């Protein structure tokens, strides 16, 4: 799975992700590989990507929208 973060100034991504923890408007949500298509709004906080090798990567986000589809989590700030 890939976690892609898009902002007006740059686009970055994290590969080999098995789960993503998202700070949504309704609370914390966890998305895993194979999750159904999902669309939500994010509040300012930290997105945590759990990687296949057991490590994790944290991404600071402001208010954003998030779309989960085809083994990709796309965050648009």
Of residues 34 and 53, the one with the higher pLDDT is: 53
What's the domain range around 22?
A: 2-76
Quick one: pLDDT at residue 23? 97
Return the closest-CA partner of residue 20 out of 77, 67, 62. 67
Domain count, the chain: 1
Return the closest-CA partner of residue 15 out of 5, 28, 30, 25. 5
Residues with Cβ within 8 Å of 54's Cβ and at least 6 positions away in sequence, in order, are none
Tell me the CATH number at 54.
2.60.15.10
Give the side-chain half-sphere CA count within 13 A for 3: 24
Return the closest-CA partner of residue 41 out of 56, 31, 59, 27. 27
Phi, psi of 18, rounded to the nearest 5 degrees:
-105, -25
The tens digit of pLDDT for each residue in 12-38 reads: 999 999 999 999 999 999 999 888 898
């Amino acid at each position: 799975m890939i976690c892609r973060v898009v902002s007006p100034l740059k686009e970055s991504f994290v590969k080999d992700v098995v789960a993503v923890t998202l700070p949504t408007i309704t609370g914390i949500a966890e998305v895993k590989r194979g999750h159904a298509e999902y669309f939500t709004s994010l509040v300012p906080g930290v997105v945590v990507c759990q990687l296949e090798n057991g490590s994790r990567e944290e991404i600071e986000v402001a208010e954003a929208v998030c779309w989960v589809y085809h083994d990709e989590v796309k965050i648009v700030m």
